[in-house]
Chain A
Amino acid sequence: MSTEKAGGLSTQISPKIILAMKTRPRCSLKQCASALILTIACGMIAFNIRDYHRTFSQTRQKRQDVPYTFLGIQFSGLQDILTGTETIGYLTDKDLNAQQHAMQFAQAQFMLAPVILDTNFSGHEYILLDCSRPDITWAFINKFRLQPLRRNQFGVVLARNPRSVKVAF
């Protein structure tokens, strides 16, 4: 048993303790790297949870202020007439290069699928009129001599084209 004198007092240190201190393995580089990765991962998860909560709250607030709208819903209520029809014409005065109108057209296509909307409308039996104002819609109907079949609550009109090839035969 080793002894030391410190301040006049002698202390005895067990050889077992000395052996344990000398043989305790130091943290290897690999273990340190692993510990670092795991610690950072835990920190990132905590950060993610906070960010997730913030994003969730912001999006919920946005939805409460402005409810979710799918522009394509304006084209609902026409599917029963179009049963069995593969393609219909799509007539509009809106600029389809503008993102908002392009999105509306794409969503209309989705709502009415499997019916295809063709902007080259003239040869089709049915034509969907989606105009910015009712008077423009009626102007198109008169100009192309279409027969209106149905108008939904959003002002979208489904009309029949008597001059289409299919109708002629």
Chain B
Amino acid sequence: MNFFALIPFMISAISGFCLLGLVLPCRHPKDFPCHAVLSAGLGLGISAFLTWTCFLLLQQFHKTYLISCHVVLLLALLYFYNKKPRTLPGLDKKTALDTALAAVLLAITLTAAWHFGQFYPLGGWDAWQVWNIKAKFLFLGGGHWRNMLQPSLWQTSPHYPLLLPLINVWGWTFQESASPVTPFLTAIIFTGLTAFLPWAILYSWGARRGVPLLPALLLLTHPFFITLGTSQYADILFAFYLLASLFCLLKSLDHEHAGYGILASLFLGMLSFSKPEGTLLALQAFASTVIMQMILPKTAGQNTAAPRPPWGAWIAIFCLALIPTIIFNVFYSPGNQTFINGLSSSSHPASLFRVKMILAFLTVELKSPKWNGIWIFILSGLLLQAPKCFQGKWLLIPVVLLIYLSSVLSYYFLNTYFKIDWWLQVSLHRILFTLLPTCLFWVFGPLCSSRPRQ
């Protein structure tokens, strides 16, 4: 791996940090790690959107346009950042030590993940059949990149949105060829970000020293999580943007700062562009938050009423963030080539057998040895803390997850294109993988959020 492979990621991280700083000022030293992790994800998502504009406007990959866009964005962000200077809070000794310890642990575990991933340098099956092949079409296809959307290439799932391929294309910008190192680097970065986001959030909430590290270490030492995280699939992006969105939505319910709602809208837009089910989840999560804003008691403090959320700005930004997905689905996607409506099909009808298989597989998967009992731990942790986990703002997580899971299981029932046993075998564990970081955060969050920040 050479330095040129790292340049795009560094540019994205800096852009993300400046943008985050404009939207949500970092007021407390303990917020800094959380801002750093969110910045990286935000920056990479924005870079993917900018790369998408290259293909929309110029109909092919154009290195100069892409670099210019990023330079202009960075200069604009730095201009606005300096116009209204926001002094970063100085890191005190304790925060610096805690952050350094976490960084060392992250470096050790990601190094292990890197070596583990090198056993499969080109990733899993879907990495080269679905995601990286699209990145190659975008990067090398010139004006013929749209060939990848032909229905004849149905094995590549041409209806899948393009967040991951576009991030990889951006990652190749400073290189001459479509090096396999870049998709691997993307996978490692997002694995690290996803695992460390729970730590960063819980740490910013002032949790007892060591406790915030537990969900991060549970993920980074989990062999199956590392296997899927380094497989170069879009699932790890989905997991990251889901957790980031839900965290920002939870904070928006706290009425702490309007910036959280803006960030949530941006992350939901990125989530919708990662996988088809991301679009569904983004809409469900946004709608659920709006409803909960209306239902939950509106008090920001003891004697003050909560400020009215800037609905207009949130909805506008959410719609703006959905535009890349909408454009792709309306103008480019050939539609799902692997769909048969089981309710109306006589040759492939949906039946009660399918329901039984789905429920049976779900039960077996949750207690499968490959998960090392983590789902049993999560369910037990939720039961032990039942009042806290299903109270107030925390209700958002089960509401969103339940609606989403119901939709996914219904889709398994409805779409009879594939044999249900094969389909569940190859995909159910990946659905659960994308939900794992959020579920762990849901267990540890109420545990840590009741402590006042020192």
Which residue numbers of A lie inside 8 Å of B, CB to CB?
A: 30, 33-34, 36-38, 40-42, 44-45, 47-49, 51-52, 55-56, 59-60, 63, 68, 70, 72, 86-87, 103, 106-107, 109-110, 113-114, 116, 118
Specify which chain B residues have a CB less than 8 angstroms from the CB of A70 in the assembled complex. Answer: 122
Asked if B223 and A33 make an inter-chain contact with CB atoms under 8 angstroms apart, the answer reads no
Asked if A113 and B140 make an inter-chain contact with CB atoms under 8 angstroms apart, the answer reads yes
Specify which chain A residues have a CB less than 8 angstroms from the CB of B380 in the assembled complex. Answer: 37, 40
CA distance A112 to B223 in the complex (A): 32
CA distance A109 to B136 in the complex (A): 11
Asked if B128 and A110 make an inter-chain contact with CB atoms under 8 angstroms apart, the answer reads yes
CA distance A30 to B148 in the complex (A): 55
Specify which chain A residues have a CB less than 8 angstroms from the CB of B223 in the assembled complex. Answer: 48, 51-52, 55-56
Instruction: Name the one of A37, A47, A87, A116 contacting B372, with C-beta atoms under 8 angstroms.
Output: A47
Known: A38-B214, A48-B372. A110 touches B132 (CB 8 A): yes
Q: Does B147 contact A (CB under 8 A)?
A: yes
Asked if A113 and B133 make an inter-chain contact with CB atoms under 8 angstroms apart, the answer reads yes
Asked if B372 and A110 make an inter-chain contact with CB atoms under 8 angstroms apart, the answer reads no
How many residues in B have their beta carbons less than 8 Å from beta carbons of A?
44
Asked if B147 and A68 make an inter-chain contact with CB atoms under 8 angstroms apart, the answer reads no
Q: Does B121 contact A (CB under 8 A)?
A: yes
Q: Does B120 contact A (CB under 8 A)?
A: yes
Asked if B153 and A48 make an inter-chain contact with CB atoms under 8 angstroms apart, the answer reads no
Asked if A106 and B447 make an inter-chain contact with CB atoms under 8 angstroms apart, the answer reads no
Tell me the dominant secondary structure on chain A's binding face.
helix
- What 10 pairs across the A-B complex have the smallest Cβ distances? A114-B141, A48-B221, A33-B384, A113-B136, A110-B128, A55-B223, A114-B137, A41-B214, A52-B223, A110-B133
Known: A37-B385, A116-B147. A45 touches B119 (CB 8 A): no
Asked if B214 and A42 make an inter-chain contact with CB atoms under 8 angstroms apart, the answer reads yes
Q: Shortest Cβ distance from A31 into chain B, in angstroms? A: 11
Q: Shortest Cβ distance from B412 into chain A, in angstroms? A: 23
Kindly report which residue of chain B lies nearest to residue A119, judged by CB atoms. B152
Instruction: Name the one of A37, A60, A118 contacting B381, with C-beta atoms under 8 angstroms.
Output: A37
* New A-B pairs, 11, CB < 8 Å, besides A48-B372, A110-B136: A37-B381, A40-B377, A41-B218, A42-B214, A48-B223, A52-B112, A68-B120, A86-B144, A110-B129, A113-B140, A116-B152
Q: Does B317 contact A (CB under 8 A)?
A: no
Asked if B385 and A33 make an inter-chain contact with CB atoms under 8 angstroms apart, the answer reads yes
Specify which chain A residues have a CB less than 8 angstroms from the CB of B215 in the assembled complex. Answer: 41
Asked if A34 and B447 make an inter-chain contact with CB atoms under 8 angstroms apart, the answer reads yes
Specify which chain B residues have a CB less than 8 angstroms from the CB of A51 in the assembled complex. Answer: 223, 372
6 contacts between A and B (CB under 8 A): A36-B384, A41-B214, A45-B221, A103-B125, A114-B141, A114-B147
Of the listed residues A42, A49, A63, the one surrounded by the most CB atoms of chain B closer than 10 A to its CB is A49
Instruction: Name the one of A37, A52, A72, A109 contacting B447, with C-beta atoms under 8 angstroms.
Output: A37
